[in-house]
């Protein structure tokens, strides 16, 4: 029982820090089909590589770079860190 509680606490602590650590403006770009977008680099806790989220021109939503998920900025950043 004691071991199970320790494992649960460690798992909860790890998932609490799995989110975004910082967001940094990374300029803008253009997709292969000609759409322009703004992009942000997301630094995640527990990972050294930065991930990107993009906002397509004319849209209020932020998307993962592969456009598999779109939503509010912080939700997209959290999804990028998973």
Distances (CA, A) of 29 to 7, 14, 58, 71, 80: 44, 34, 14, 19, 19
Between strands 36-44 and 70-71, the pairing is unpaired
Residue 24: strand pairing partners: 41
* pTM given for the model: 0.72
Tell me whether residue 2 is exposed, middle or buried, using C-beta atoms within 10 angstroms of its C-beta: 0 to 12, 13 to 18, 19 or more: exposed
- Percentage of residues of the chain with pLDDT beyond 70: 78
Tell whether the model's pLDDT for residue 15 goes beyond 70. no
Task: Give the mean pLDDT of 24-47.
Answer: 93
Q: Work out the pLDDT band at 8, boundaries 50, 70, 90.
A: low
The structural domain count of the chain equals: 1
23 versus 4: which is more confidently predicted? 23
Task: Name the residue range of residue 19's domain.
Answer: 2-81
Task: Give the mean pLDDT of 9-15.
Answer: 54
């Amino acid at each position: 029982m004691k071991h199970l509680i320790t494992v649960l606490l460690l798992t909860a602590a790890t998932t609490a820090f799995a989110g975004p650590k910082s967001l940094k403006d990374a300029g803008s770009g253009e997709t292969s089909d000609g759409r322009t977008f703004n992009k942000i680099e997301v630094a995640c806790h527990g990972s050294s590589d930065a991930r990107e989220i993009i906002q397509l021109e004319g849209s209020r939503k932020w998307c993962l770079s592969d456009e598999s998920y779109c939503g509010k900025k912080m939700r997209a950043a959290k999804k990028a860190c998973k």
